[in-house]
Structure 1
Amino acid sequence: MFSPEGPTLRELAVQALSSVERGYDLLAPKFDHTPYRTPDRVLDAVASGLAPLGPFGRGLDLCCGTGAGVGVLARLCRDGVTGADFSAGMLSAARAHPVPAGPEVTWVRADARALPFGPVFDLVVSFGAFGHFLPRELPGLFGQVRSVLRPGGRFAFPVGAPPRPGSPAYWTLLGFDAAMRVRNALWRPPFVMYYRTFRLGDVGRELARAGFRTDLYALPGFGSRPDGSPRARLVVARRLP
């Protein structure tokens, strides 16, 4: 799963016993050499899915990590791109990467639950961060996203279809979440990272309550499930007036 440049087992254990913020500060220098970094094929699929809806003015990569999603926004936005994350270590790693061609890129340390922006963005994207938010936090999170979007602005993110019950992937994710719950029951500070709490039906309802109209687009490069449904979708939520 990890390249030779990635973290050691000991480093991962130290991260897992830290807070979310501290854990990512520690992991940041080697994060891009782990499976946790969003794959390029996902980034490219999202960029292709959003391209017909653009071009956009200003873009925000929410919970940007080391900045992989900023490259998507640089292809789609004309007036500027911002990456926001609450981990200083991840932002430091992001700043060390070559700046994508296109509009100016800025980096801001910020908690997604209390964003320090006005309604200045036309597109907000996020990749792989929602497992760090408990279901009860989604209304506040989506409210924050709405507050930084201009009317008609869009909030977009990819979601994968849940694994088939009984499959190896199903048991792997179930076991990970169970282990994380035990860890958080026994150890402080908590490390919030769950794979099975971000359910598309619940997400759609919370987006509607927050003032979004949501459309789903298949990401065809990931194929279909046996029932014909897509293995991956792009959620595009438009901010209503």
Structure 2
Amino acid sequence: MFSPQGPTLRELAVQALSSVEHGYDLLAPKFDHTPFRTPDSVLESVATALVGTGPFEDGLDLCCGTGAGMDVLARVCRGSVTGIDFSAGMLDVARRQPRPSGPRVAWVRGDARALPFSSSFDLVVSFGAFGHFLPRELPGLFGQVHSVLRPGGTFAFPVLAPPRPSRPGFWVLLGFDAAMRVRNAVWRPPFVMYYRAFRLGAVLDELKRTGFETGLHPLPEFGRRADGSPRARLIAARRLP
């Protein structure tokens, strides 16, 4: 499915009936051949935006998966870059990927809701992982990021404008979230992945409550919608002293 190198429909079904951690362990060898991996166009756009605000010394890729975001960090960090994920399978794939020479690289297995670091980083990025956290978990998640950033450090991640109800994509995402809610109501362990639960307004409010000063930066490569609003933005939240 998706491509000759991608997972089969049966493999995706087995993953969807597993826990999040075990599901990604199963998917890891073929993850980069699915639409679930952050597109290179998004990674490149974020890297370009961060180059203008860096350089940074030490960076962390939160929920790094197979490590696509680590190349973004390597472009803007001079000291070290660290990827953390709770899937051992994803980290195994990430370690085998070729990486350009540059800052020191480390891989850590751990939970984003209980990060095993002190104030060690100047930059934390994350790509495509927030659907795995329920809205009630965001305060704790943002609090963890705040705790591992040095004062003045930046938490950066891209957000895409949601599709309008007149677009097919709106109904696809709505249907996916509805199917996941039904699945989690009747099957254990749960598999948390909701595309429409990460609302920009609520996210900005929670970042402010956590102690971040937040800026929104359009990613011009993705253009604008009919109303003039950007199709994609970079949230850059700075930890206040």
Q: Verify same fold: TM over 0.5.
A: yes
SS in structure 2 at match of 1:226: coil
Distance in 1 between residues matched to 2:66 and 2:146, nearest whole Å: 24
Tell me if the contact between 1:55 and 1:78 (Cα under 8 Å) persists in the aligned partners. Answer: yes
Structure 2 CA distance for aligned equivalents of residues 205 and 211 of structure 1: 10
1:3 deviates by 1.1
Q: Distance in 1 between matches of 2:109 and 2:100?
A: 19
Structure 2, unmatched stretches of 5+, are none
Q: Distance in 1 between matches of 2:16 and 2:126?
A: 22
**Secondary structure of the residue that 2:79 maps to in structure 1?**
strand
- Correspondences of 1:39-188 after superposition (within 5 Å): 39-188=39-188
* Deviations 1:33-89, CA, capped at 9 Å, x for gaps: 000011111000000111111000000000000000000000000000000000000
Q: Structure 2 CA distance, aligned partners of 1:172 and 1:101?
A: 40
* Corresponding letter in the other structure for 1:17: L
TM-score by length of 1: 0.99
Q: Give the counterpart letter for 2:82 in structure 1.
A: T
Amino acid in structure 1 at the alignment position of 2:64:
C
1:152-207 deviation digits (Å, cap 9, x = unpaired): 00000000001102320100000000000000000000000000000100000000
Q: Look up the match of 1:215.
A: 215
- Quick one: percent identity of the two aligned structures? 77
Give the Cα separation in 2 of the matches to 1:99 and 1:47: 16
Report the Cα distance in structure 1 between the residues aligned to 2:161 and 2:11, rounded to whole angstroms: 31
Q: Tell me the SS of whatever aligns to 1:53.
A: coil
Residues 81-130 of structure 1: CA deviation (Å, up to 9, x unaligned):
00000000000000010123210110000100000000010000000000
Check the 8 A contact 1:24/1:90 in 2, yes or no.
yes
TM-score when normalising by structure 2: 0.99
Quick one: which amino acid aligns to residue 195 of structure 2?
A: Y
- Counterpart of 2:160 in structure 1: which amino acid? G
- Which consecutive segments of 4 or more residues in structure 1 shift more than 3 A? none
Aligned to 2:189: 189
Q: Distance in 2 between matches of 1:146 and 1:224?
A: 31
Count of residue pairs the alignment pairs up? 241
Does the residue aligned with 1:191 lie in a helix, a strand or coil?
coil
SS in 2 for 1:206: helix
